[in-house]
Amino acid sequence: TISLAFGASKLVKQNALIRKLPAVETLGSVTYICSDKTGTLTLNKMTVEEIYVDEKLLRQEQFEQLEKGAEKLEADNHLGKQETLSWPLIDLLKAMALSNDAALGEEGKVIGDPTEVALYVLAKKMSFSKEALLKEFPRIAEIPFDSERKLMTTFHKWADGKIVSFTKGAIEAISERASAIVTSEGIKEFNIDEIYKINDRMATDGLRVIGIAMRSWDALPDDMSPANVEKELIVLGLVGMMDPPREEAKEAVHLCKTAGIKTVMITGDHPITARAIAKRIGIIEDDSVITGRELDELRLEDFERQVENIRVYSRVAPEQKLKIVKALQDKNQFVAMTGDGVNDAPALRRANSGIAMGITGTDVAKEASDMILLDDNFATIVRAVKEGRRIYDNILKFIKYSLTSNAGTIWVIFLAPFLGLPLPMLPIQILWMNLLCDSLPGLALTSEPEEKDIMNRPPRPYNEGVFTLGRGRFILVFGFLVGVTALALQAFTLNAGMAWQTMVFTSLVLGRMAVAMAVRSERDSLLRIGIFSNKPLIGAVLLTFVLQMTVVYIPALNTIFKTQPLGIKELIITLSVSAVALIAVELEKLFLRRQV
């Protein structure tokens, strides 16, 4: 528990807040990380890169030219300047500003969803201020966005006394409901193939593409249902936005691959956009992407047959995350799932490690999670996995140290009578040894730095036992070795007339310190990992040595612990016997390294 608490404290400094302490250890077993794209793999800072309007594709450099002309426009006199901007572009910019929930916050910072912020900023740059337009065209009703229909609609009073509704959202959703498109030559029949062609062209560059459309009404409709309102739309244009991948995301994904962890990207974006971003980050190399609609059509059994090979999900609703988690778990995978919305909560709760976003996450998502990312960064998840592996490794090292040391003591006390030897230690000496050796050195092992190959090995099985992978053999063999060397020391010093009980007592205490140093790495030698790389452990070993020497050499303590001061020869023999376990473990490591 102390080790987990130390780990949780360290993770907070790395922007990972642990809500449930066992989650620290659990992270070391993760085999799949299912991550949202926006804000986790990307920066969540949208900028408009391209616009398709009036049958033309405008890029960012062309916006800048138009912006210079638009700066000459007066904020309340847009319609009189069609020599600068075409009227289809004017209508599109008005829609961007009016059908928008972003707003100016303190110190002029725009606050809101990144997609809406990007639209707001571009419209404002082109002199279409939302605040000014709302005075002229006030919003009188709205149908909020939802993940099922993937649309949002707002209603505004218009100059001619009519009502205009603006609808924006996913291209597929807009196209299914559109009947015409705006051009400089007038309203034309909607060509869905042409729109999909433009959408694919923009999405291939990794842009998130949304469509914006309008509809005119004589009066606010009595039936405000989406089915009645969002139909017979006139398309104003398409807007392509770039959410750049985080620079550290590509390295983190590569680190996951070397660690045997598969990264899965889940997004609401178009499949082509998802594919482009996934390739850029290094999640996939081929073109395999599955959409939310395809996921719905798959039976669970069919989905489970291919779920381990799917790396990118697009146009996915939050509710479908639960299906992904269940399918992976049914294949005995250990799943970490990220989420930020209310609808993500069931998947976060079901995942082996639920990870909520600290910046954009809702309170419901955070309550359902095991861990909160304070910076919403995918690389933080990978750092947490690395820390989880280190903590679990250190827990195992403590177990090996404690059980091996105690096994040695048990062998000494158990075998001595059978060998005709007197009781090796007194009860007070055993109590002192346990108090001294099971506290500070054991805690110091939790500070052991991670081994160099910690992210170059596959995740440990979540049901792996403590005594598997040779750990049980290690405890028995080296525990027996510690006991046998202590008994040999007792027999030799007893016959030689030395202070045999003090020497056995001291050799077992210092032998435990040797074991603590020996278990710091499974395969690497103590010299290679650095004797002083774990300063708390070195401090604990030195303190233990000093305290044991006080028991041996201070007369007042000699009376209490029934010890005798040791001569130089006796001390050297004791130290030599104590080092036997360390030397034996280092020889075994050398043998294992040569076997590879």
Residues classed as catalytic: 36
> Rounded distance, CA 79 to CA 530, Å?
74
CA dihedral 229, 233, 239, 242 (to 10 degrees): 40
68, containing H or E segment: helix 60-70
CA dihedral 535, 537, 543, 549 (to 10 degrees): -130
Q: Are strands 151-157 and 139-146 parallel, antiparallel or unpaired?
A: antiparallel
11, containing H or E segment: helix 2-13
242, containing H or E segment: strand 233-242
Token pair of 245, please? 């991948």
- State how far Cα 131 lies from the chain centre: 39
Following DSSP, what letter does each residue of 396-443 receive, concatenated? Answer: HHHHHHHHHHHHHHHHHHHHTGGGTPPPSS-HHHHHHHHHHHSSHHHH
- State how far Cα 545 lies from the chain centre: 42
Amino acid at the residue 212: I
Token pair of 176, please? 């299914």
CA-to-CA separations, 552 to 73, 228, 486, 549, 564, in angstroms, rounded: 92, 91, 17, 5, 6
> Rounded distance, CA 499 to CA 546, Å?
19
Determine the 3-state secondary structure of 191 from DSSP: coil
Determine the 3-state secondary structure of 564 from DSSP: coil
Q: What DSSP state is assigned to residue 141?
A: E
